[in-house]
Structure 1
Amino acid sequence: MRAEDLSGADAAVYRAVAEREVGTGAPHLQDIARQAGLSLEATRTAVHRLLHTEPKILHEVPDTGRTDLGPFYELAPRT
């Protein structure tokens, strides 16, 4: 799947991650939901789909800080 083929919540999540990466760096799930205007559950579902596409669209980066906010999400490098 290509980013250009996304629609609905998947497209909103992709755009939110891309916009946050440029502005403030890789976002947490809560940041993505707020940016995309989606519920946390809808965002979690879309992120899960995007993490498991072929080729990868998103990837998960562990938060090495001392927060309970969970991992960060970044756009996967395009090949």
Structure 2
Amino acid sequence: MRVEDLSGDDATVYRAVAEVEVGTGAPHLQDIARAAGLDLERARTAVHRLLHTEPKILHEVPDTGPTDLGPVYELAPRT
């Protein structure tokens, strides 16, 4: 799947990750949902789909910060 082919919640979540990542670094799921204007479950479902595309569009990264909010997500490098 190509980024250009995304639509609906998947496209919204992709754009939200890109915007937050540029501003403050890789976001947590809660940050993605807020930036995308989606409830947590819809954001989680879209993130899950983006994590399992071929080629990879989104990566899950362990959070090394002081909080316990779960992993953070970042865009995969585009080729």
Settle same-fold status: TM greater than 0.5: yes
What amino acid maps onto 1:4 in structure 2?
A: E
Structure 1: give runs of 5+ residues left out of the alignment: none
Counterpart for residue 26 of structure 1? 26
Write the deviation string for residues 11-49 of structure 1: whole angstroms up to 9, x where unpaired.
Answer: 000000000111111100000000000010000000000
**1:73, CA displacement in angstroms?**
0.3
**1:68, CA displacement in angstroms?**
1.9
How many residues of Structure 1 are paired with residues of Structure 2 in the alignment? 79
**1:61, CA displacement in angstroms?**
0.6
Counterpart for residue 73 of structure 1? 73
Structure 2: give runs of 5+ residues left out of the alignment: none
**1:66, CA displacement in angstroms?**
3.1
- Cα distance between partner residues in 2 of 1:65 and 1:36: 23
Counterpart for residue 41 of structure 1? 41
TM-score (norm. length: structure 1): 0.96
Any idea what SS the aligned residue of 2:74 has?
strand
Any idea what SS the aligned residue of 1:67 has?
coil
Counterpart for residue 63 of structure 1? 63
Alpha-carbon RMSD? 0.7
